Amino acid sequence: MAKEKDQEFVEYVVKEIVSNKDAVKVERSIDEKGVLLELTVDAEDMGVIIGKEGKTAKSIRTLLRVLGAKNDSRVNLKIVEPEGSERPQRAERQEEPKAEETKVEEKEEVVEEIPAEEETEESASEDSDEEPMADLDL
């Protein structure tokens, strides 16, 4: 089977940025969602392909989207996790309850009453001499 442009493109770009060029494999399949390219690289090269915060992989996908639009097709890239990968397998996601469904435990508030200070003659005279909040500019 002859390689298509999208498959050749991914293979060329990836081989230029990885260390182990012989381990690069791109398999192409067509389904109801469009063209699917499955990229397999050496385990040591996974970080290079994904890039910081996934930027390299996102860039390759963006360029594939442009190439696909030029050929009136939708092209998706799947990066296959190699066998010798050091990254732990991702646990399956469990749906978290929605905010409406979460139960908030009601806690009993304990408020201590503090007895009010009895005004002494000194504190009463201090309060009467000054106007409250006189130093604030309003």
Mean pLDDT of 10-33: 91
List, in sequence order, the alpha helices (H) in the chain: 5-17, 46-50, 55-70, 121-129
pTM: 0.57
Q: By three-state DSSP, how is residue 26 classified? A: strand
pLDDT of residue 83: 72
DSSP state of 51: -
Query: With 60 as the cut, is the pLDDT of residue 64 above it?
Result: yes
**pLDDT tier at 15, thresholds 50, 70, 90:** very high
Residues in Cβ contact with 98 at an 8 Å cutoff, skipping those fewer than 6 apart: none
pLDDT of residue 1: 46
Strands of the sheet containing 34-40, edge to edge, are: 25-31, 34-40, 75-80
Q: What homologous superfamily is domain 5-80 in, according to CATH?
A: K homology (KH) domain (3.30.300.20)
Domain residue spans of the chain: 5-80
**pLDDT tier at 126, thresholds 50, 70, 90:** low
